[in-house]
Structures are given as C-alpha cells and as structure tokens.
Amino acid sequence: MTTALDDYREVSPKGTVDFLYRLSDLVKGRSVVHVSAVRYGGGAAELLRRVVPMLTALGVEARWEVIAGTQEFFAVVKRLTDALQGRDEKITEDMYQTFREINERNAKALNLEADMVMIHDHQPAGMVEYRASGAWLWHCHLDLSQPQRRAWTFLRRYAVKYDAAIFSLSGFAQRLPIPKFLMYPSIDPLSPKNREMSRSEINQIVDRLGIPRTKPIILQVAKFERFKDPLGAIQAYRIVKKHHDCRLVLAGSGIMHDPEGEAVLAEAREAAGRDPDIHLVQLPPEADLEINALQRTATVVLQKPLKEGFGVTVSEAMWKGKPVVGGNAEGIAAQIIDEVTGYVVHSAEGAGFRLRHLLNNPGLIARMGAAGREHVRRNFFITRQLGDFLTLLKIMPLQ
Amino acid sequence: MSPQAAHNIADSTFAFIGCSEVQEILGRQADDEKELAELVEEVPLDSIHFHTHSYFLRHRFIERAYPNDFSQWVVMQIGDHVLGERLAVVDPFDYPNLEDLREEIISIIDDHLSRMSIIPRVVFGEPFHFKRSRILEVPIGLEARSLADFRRVVADVDVSAIYFHMFEAHFRLGREESDFSAWIRTGLGLHELADRIRSINPYLGSLERLRSSLITACDEFLGRA
C-alpha cells in the first residue's frame, strides 16, 4: 500500500509536510533513477519502496531499477559485502570478473537516463563505468570503516568515478576525493513495523509469541549473531534480576540456513539455562508486526551490540516511547541522547546498572520515553530523509 | 507606543524562507584535543559554522547539555569536563564573524592544553568528525504584513524557517541583525519590539524554545496594545 505524504501530517512536526511540498517545487520535473540489487529485503529496498512513490507524488520523475544477476554474481557480492565490512574473505580475479560483467550487462540493459542516478550499495556500483548523463551518486549503506584492503581497493576504483558518495555515518566512510554526504537512515512511522497498534492487537501477537505480560520486560531485538552480543544481554539481565523480578526477551531472526545463527542461539539457550523469564524468540525475516508489538510491550529496550551498522532499531523503540540502553557503537550513540532519551553504555555491567536504575524509576522511564519519541519525530522520520533526497537533487549540478 | 502601532501594516511583506541541510563529511577527524585545535584552525569556516550553528538545526527540540559540537564531544567522548565547560560558554552572539569565533575556540583549547601535562584523547569513544553543511533556501510561500500575521506564521511554520531567519541571515549572510527584528523595525516601525527580539540570544536553547520566545514577545506586545 502506498502512503501519501499528507498522511504524515498527523505524526510529523508542524510545518514539515508543507515544507516538503515547497522544497519539491524547486525540483519539480527533474528526474532521478535509483538502482539497487534487490527489490525486497535489506535497508535500501525498504527505503526505496516508500520513498520512490513519494517522490513521484511530489512531481519528481522518480524510477527504481533493480539489477539482474546470476546466482554466481550474488554469491560474489555476498563475499564482497562481508569483505567490505572487515571479514576475511577470499575473492578471486574470476569473481571480480563476474562482478564487472554483470555490471556491464545491467548498465547496457537498464534505462539510466536521468538528472540524478543514485546507485545503492556496492552490487551495482560498477555501472558507473558506463555513465552517460546526469549526476551519479553512490549511496553506500554499509559500514566501510575497516574494510578488507583488497576488496576496498577494487571497489574504490568505481567509487572515485561518482560525483558524490553518501554514507550513513561519518565513521563508516573511507577517504575519497569526491564530496561525501551524510544521510542518517530513518524509520517510517506509518509502516507495519512502526504504526500505532491497538492494545488488543498487541496482546494477541505477544500472546502468540508466548510471552506473559506479568513482569517488566527488557527487550533486545537483534539477529542471533555474535556481534549482537546476546550473551552480554543475558549477563546484564542477571544483574538486574537480583533486584527486580523482570523478564528478558531476545527476539531476532538469522537462524534459517545460517550456521552462525544456530550456534549463537544454542549458546544463548545454554546461558539462559532453565530460567523461565528468559525468552528467546525466533522471528521470520520480515516480522514487522511482531517487532512492533514487542517494542510496544517492553518496559525498557536494550540494544547493546559489540558492532553495529546504524542500528535503526533504536529509533524504532524510541518512537514507541521506550527508553533505550544502547552500546557505544557510533550509530546507536548518534540516536540516543545520553541521559535524556536513554543511556549509552560500554559494558554488560553498565547495561545492567542502567537498566536497574530505570526499573527503579518508573517516572524516569516515562520521561525518557516521551523525550525519545519527540527526538525520533524530529530527526529520524522518513520525511526528513525525503527532504534529504530532494535537497540533493537540487544541489547536485545538472550534467 | 500607541495602541494602533501593533496594527501597523508593512509596505513590504515578510516572506518566510525555510532551509534544508545536507551534511558533508570533510574526512578530517581528531582523536585528541591538540588535533581538535589544529583542525579547527585548518577546516573551512563553513565547518566552524556547522559545529556551532547548524547544530541547532539538528537538535530542534531537545536541548542538549552542551550547546555546540566541540564541547559536546570533549565531554562525552574524552571526558574532559573542564574544557567542555569552557567551550560551552562561548557565545557565538559575542563575535562579529566566524573567523573571530574560530580564534576564540582555538585560544581556549590552547590555553587549556598549556595547563595539562598530557593531551586528553579519546580512549573508548568516537573521534571528532569534521563536517560542513550545504544549506538550501526554500521559499515556503507564507507571508506576513502585520504583527498578527507574523505571530500566526511563526507559531506554525517549519522550524527551519526560525533557524534561517535567526541564525543564517545574521551570521553566514553577514546581516546586522536577524531578519525578524530587522523587518519588525523597518517594515512595521515597532522599534521596541524589534529591540526585544534582537535581544533574544538564539544560542541559549533549542529552536522550539526560540519559537516560544518569539511568540511570547509578540503576544506581550499585542496584549499591551
């Protein structure tokens, strides 16, 4: 279902929607084509599914193209994703050649005529070799702070041919001789993951997940991966549990066809032991309503990964009026205002300490929750990101 | 002031302009306070503006404990409360231009470091990333010809318009006073109210607080009239 911009009047800060209409007047009739690797799954696809229809409704000629690739190509770019995020992956010259060929084929097949061509992530990044017209921007959604050197050297050859690059955080960017813009990800308050829910709808979902609502709930929503540190969350919970009768819910996906996910879940089960107040909830990949209901049911939210991308889950939880105790990863710290909308912590002990403090102070939970909700409304809504896209379309010189 | 003054109609309308900001990463980062001072000296003035002014555009609602990015970083990431507090009280309102503001910031950091036996640095936190902004002016199609109009628009306009007319016009565009007080003075001829609005220090709160102060000033004036 397409959401109209006017639907956001009720939830966004005053004047925002009218401002976006006026901003769009400056770029009416201009064209933009977004190119991504997939139509479904992943942050870029989720964003484009909502932003492209909004841009069109505002009078921008917006299109979204998705590249076609072989199984072999997608296996190569998966390795490249891991390598760019610092994992030790071996990528052969044949694999790089597959990348080049598929990018060339797509560049020739797709209609890339537009005032602005925005390439999302690395999979289609090689198409810049065949650029004809328009300003070309590379929108990198990955954390490139510590890439594997050879993988980055390969990709950098393409990156420097763009007119500008966009990163989600300053710390995710690498040195490049082109302008680098910062664009925080956003949440859509009207999407299934964030829309308002009735009490009965929430209860129904939480009951189905088998979580009693008889005690305060500490929630962490994160894939079952080592970097998300579910064992640290259990350690923090045990510190709290000495003083408060509460539950810990660790909800996440990442189990299916993933040996690491299975291993991490098994470790978490072992750490939980026979404690009936620890709930390990396996979610399917797009369990938006379940996550929404869980976040609304939680008393406080914990997001304490050892390493994280932007971690927009923090904004999702704050939008639901929950204080967030988050790890000191750059993306999380960029969203939490320490001691105002939650706490930034550096250890499992720190998390336990802050969670305990919050559960001791129900008034503080309410105050921080309300502040967090307003903070998200003004800084992390999709309307803000729509404004970012319109502004870029205006300020990038026409080629 | 005569009671009629509050109902003055300006010859020229006040056209509200909002703004949209895109942040640009400069690729320069400081890991300690000495590097911070060195880079404050080197980066373009736009970056000083970004970290001391458009800070407000990014924190429109919630007032943070420290009113500029430099003091925020020094306290939150390095844990140097003394320098953070000294930088926090630097009031950009006191400086006629950004170059003077830059010099003051460098001078405070240098003075602080001269009293230290070590250079405080980030151990567990994040480095300071220098940025600047590209500000796009957006005419928002709202106008005022009287004080009542002005008050009504200020109450509902996108808060970026408050930022633009109070901060951008004054500092980056080098105008003597904010667009609001200038128009109230010359357009409406309300010198007393113009002085009152000119005296509002925009650096002492969030943009929403600033909006409230403007509305309060208008209401008090209209009420008296």
**Would an 8 Å CB–CB cutoff place B15 in contact with chain A?**
no
Contacts B28 to A, Cβ<8 Å: none
A23 pLDDT higher than 60 = yes
**Contacts for A227 with CB less than 8 Å, ≥ 6 apart:** A305, A306, A307, A308
- B152 and B75 in a single domain? The answer is no
Amino acid at A9: R
Contacts A167 to B, Cβ<8 Å: 25
Tokens in use for B183? 């128009």
pLDDT at B213: 94
- B11 and B76 in a single domain? The answer is no
Looking at the domain assignment, is residue B138 inside a domain? no
- B161 and B106 in a single domain? The answer is no
DSSP string of A83-130, one letter each residue: HHTT------HHHHHHHHHHHHHHHHHS---SSEEEEESSTTGGGGGG
CATH topology of domain A199-379: Rossmann fold (3.40.50)
CATH of A5-186+381-395, one of 3.40.50.300, 3.90.1150.10, 3.40.50.2000, 3.40.1020.10: 3.40.50.2000
Among candidate residues B107, B132, B157, the one where a domain is terminated: B132
For chain A, the domains span 5-186+381-395, 199-379
- B8 and B65 in a single domain? The answer is no
pLDDT tens digits for range B204-214: 778 888 999 99
pLDDT tens digits for range A192-219: 999 999 999 999 999 999 999 999 999 9
What kind and span of H or E run contains B222? helix B207-224
State the alpha helices, DSSP H only, in chain A.
16-25, 43-57, 71-84, 93-109, 149-159, 199-208, 230-241, 259-272, 288-297, 313-319, 330-335, 348-360, 362-379, 382-395
Subunit contact B156:A23, Cβ cutoff 8 A:
no
Q: Mutating which of B16, B17, B19, B20 best tests the A interface, going by the most A Cβ atoms within 10 A?
A: B20
Q: What's the distance, CA B31 to chain centroid? A: 26
Q: Give me the interface pTM, i.e. the ipTM.
A: 0.86
User: What sign results for the dihedral spanned by CA atoms B44, B46, B47, B51?
Assistant: positive
Looking at the domain assignment, is residue B137 inside a domain? no
Subunit contact B159:A22, Cβ cutoff 8 A:
no
pLDDT at B136: 94
Closest CA to B95 of B113, B108, B81: B108
Looking at the domain assignment, is residue B121 inside a domain? yes
Please determine whether the domains at A5-186+381-395 and A199-379 fall in the same fold group of CATH.
yes
- B166 and B89 in a single domain? The answer is no
* Cβ atoms of residues B160 and B28 within 8 Å: no
Tokens in use for A314? 């923090």
* Cβ atoms of residues B12 and B187 within 8 Å: yes
Subunit contact B61:A16, Cβ cutoff 8 A:
no
DSSP string of A191-228, one letter each residue: STTTS---HHHHHHHHHHTT---SS-EEEEE--S-GGG
Structural domain span for residue B180 = 3-19+144-224
Amino acid at A123: Q
pLDDT tens digits for range A54-79: 999 999 999 999 999 999 999 999 89
Of the candidates B61, B158, B159, the beta carbon closest to that of A375 is on B61
* Cβ atoms of residues A223 and A252 within 8 Å: yes
- B15 and B25 in a single domain? The answer is no
- B160 and B81 in a single domain? The answer is no
**Would an 8 Å CB–CB cutoff place B178 in contact with chain A?**
no
Q: Mutating which of A182, A341, A383 best tests the B interface, going by the most B Cβ atoms within 10 A?
A: A182
Total number of domains in chain B: 2
Subunit contact A14:B161, Cβ cutoff 8 A:
no
Contacts B157 to A, Cβ<8 Å: 14-15
**Would an 8 Å CB–CB cutoff place B29 in contact with chain A?**
yes
Looking at the domain assignment, is residue B91 inside a domain? yes
Looking at the domain assignment, is residue B109 inside a domain? yes
**Would an 8 Å CB–CB cutoff place B160 in contact with chain A?**
yes
- B39 and B118 in a single domain? The answer is yes
**Residue B112, SS3?**
helix
Of the candidates B24, B29, B124, the beta carbon closest to that of A180 is on B24
Subunit contact B25:A390, Cβ cutoff 8 A:
no
pLDDT at A3: 66
- B108 and B165 in a single domain? The answer is no
Closest CA to B131 of B205, B207, B57, B81: B57
Looking at the domain assignment, is residue B94 inside a domain? yes
Of the candidates A13, A181, A337, the beta carbon closest to that of B62 is on A337
Closest CA to A351 of A325, A323, A313: A325
- B91 and B15 in a single domain? The answer is no
